[in-house]
Structure 1
Amino acid sequence: MEEQKAIKIHQLTVAYDAKPVLWNASVTFKKGKLTAIVGPNGAGKSTLLKTILDFIKPVTGQIEYFVGKQSSEYKEIKNHIAYVPQNSTVDWDFPATVLDVVLMGRYGHLGWFKRPRKKDKDIAKEMLAKVGMTTFFNRQISQLSGGQRQRVFLARALAQEADIYILDEPLAGVDMKTERIIMDLLKELTKENKTVIVVHHDLQTVEAYFDEVVFINQEVLNNGPVSSTFTKGNIDETYRQDRNLGEEEGE
């Protein structure tokens, strides 16, 4: 039986200020799989995510999104994609409580100018319980530790009840308790046939955590099941220092 596609990327090239940082990338993310994107700093990992999320327009190439079995454009399915950004890119001084942040995940269900309903608040609290943050719901986000903040942003993504979850280095700088909570929840999502795409920095845990792996160093070098693709040869090729296809991305 052929595995269903969630996102199909074909010959994608992305540039900043006319300097390409991702070249001719082609890869398919499968429905119901937990996929790691790995590569050195400046390899284009975050750029790939931002292009998938329509934050950046590509120079060339095409991205197809599949919700159900039909191909769609991003604007048609954006509410079906949840995103957890890098911890370092968030303004943690913004005056919001933990519950406020998680309720942001419900906005796509509310439409403009509608207040959260009891159902939305119940879902937000349920997701906070899943990430072990129930007792913090009235706490200001500026008062949380790095691991606690990451759990809150995961709860926000879960509250969206999406089909595709995209996370940019969710395990960077978190404690082991938070790492276990995050990975257990992401694996639960794949059991519900959700698609989970993660930029990941720790090569030592790829085999334990992920179903699929994508190797990137300014282009997609290899991708496929972890069992057959996560090899020393592919790792060495990806992290080789003499690859000079484009300018560094500055991730």
Structure 2
Amino acid sequence: MVKEYIKVEDVTVSYDLRPVLWDIDLKIPQGVLMAIVGPNGAGKSTLIKTMLKLLKPVSGTITFDGKPYKEVQKQIAYVPQRGSVDWDFPTNVLDVVLMGRYGHAGWFKKISKEDKNKALLALEKVGMENYKDRQISELSGGQQQRVFLARALVQDADIYFMDEPFQGVDIKTERAIVALLKELKKENKTVIVVHHDLETVKEYFDWVTMINMKVIASGKVAEVFTDENIKNTYQNNQLTDIKEKHHV
């Protein structure tokens, strides 16, 4: 039996009365490196945004170590999809990373020398220390993703949510990100990643949740990432089944 660290119970999410996620139940242990996989439109990004209170579910509850999000939000870091960010915003790399320290320092307090040192160390970890004064808009897609990862690292979080962090990056950047994610796991951090490449699931992750509007399977990669579950996840009749069952 899975001892839940993050618990999602009976969560349903809809857009304009159209179901996107239906009756989601998940129990996620502490210290796993988990992929969320499924076809386009399956609700992968919607799931993590709902867990982060960026979207409001129609029903259901989500707890983190038995507590609601508002009580633990300082222990949670989020790396959004690169395409959802306004990269033309006039700021440099170091300032972007320092934004990750405001949860500790407070928005209206001066950033300390310790905060700055943590930001510089995070940039060094992602190989971006030489770009600290560069405007964020001048970076390549892979470099921008590394900077956002550094911003998450300086939060010293217990739980990390990442929405397709490998999208649009080269293989060198992807390998560097994977190495950092595995380092977080060694520190008993819980890392949840929306992922699209099925070929790398076994190599990158130890836990997987497979969804297509509803949970098809969730558990250890070695146990649930099977051909049968992959087939059930990527078939196209999930929406039809849900609509017929619930008269949507």
Query: Quick one: which of 136, 142, 149 aligns to 2:144?
Result: 149
| Equivalent in 74, 91, 94 of residue 86 of structure 2 | 91
TM-score where L is the length of structure 1: 0.94
Could you report, residue by residue, the CA deviation over 1:144-203 in whole angstroms, capped at 9, with x for unpaired residues? 000000000000000000000000000011001110110000000011110000000000
Overall identity of the aligned pairs, in %:
59
Q: Give the match for residue 61 of structure 1.
A: 60
Which of 224, 236, 241 is 1:241 aligned to?
A: 236
Match runs of 1:163-242 below 5 Å:
163-242=158-237
Equivalent runs, 1:45-124 vs 2, <5 Å: 45-66=44-65, 71-124=66-119
Q: Unpaired runs of 5+ in structure 1?
A: none
User: For the Cα contact (< 8 Å) 1:51–1:57, is it kept in 2?
Assistant: yes
Q: Is the 8 A contact 1:3 1:31 kept in 2?
A: no
Distance 1:222 1:240 in 2: 14
Where 2:5 maps in the other structure, the secondary structure is: strand
Question: Deviations along 1:22-61, whole A, 9 cap, x unmatched?
Answer: 0000011211100000000000001101000001111111
In 2, Cα distance between equivalents of 1:188 and 1:52: 23
Q: How many residues align?
A: 242
Q: What is the root-mean-square deviation in Å for CA atoms of aligned residues? A: 1.2
- The higher-RCO structure (CA 8 Å, 6+ apart) is 1
Is this contact kept in 2: 1:35–1:198, CA < 8 A? yes
Contact residue 32 and residue 193 of structure 1 kept, 8 A? yes
Q: 1:25 corresponds to which residue?
A: 24
Moved beyond 4 Å, runs of 4+: none
CA spacing shift, 1:193–1:3, aligned 2, 3 Å:
farther
Q: SS state of the match for residue 238, structure 2? A: coil
| Cα deviation code 1:199-231 (max 9, x no counterpart) | 000000000000101000000111110001111
| 8 Å Cα contact 2:3/2:27 also seen in 1 | no
C-alpha distance in structure 2 between counterparts of 1:100 and 1:6, whole Å:
32
In 2, Cα distance between equivalents of 1:18 and 1:122: 48
Letter in 2 for 1:211: D
TM-score by length of 2: 0.95
Distance 1:200 1:109 in 2: 29
Q: Residues 126-145 of structure 1: matches in 2 within 5 Å?
A: 126-145=121-140
2:171 and 2:225 map into 1 onto residues whose CA distance is 23
CA distance in 2, matches of 1:38, 1:212: 11
Distance between the aligned counterparts of 2:10 and 2:238, measured in 1?
19
Distance 1:112 1:87 in 2: 24
Cα deviations by residue, 1:119-152 (Å, 9 ceiling, x for unpaired): 0000000000000000000000000000000000
Distance apart, 1:243 and its partner CA: 2.5
Q: Comparing both structures, which one devotes a greater share of its residues to helix?
A: 2
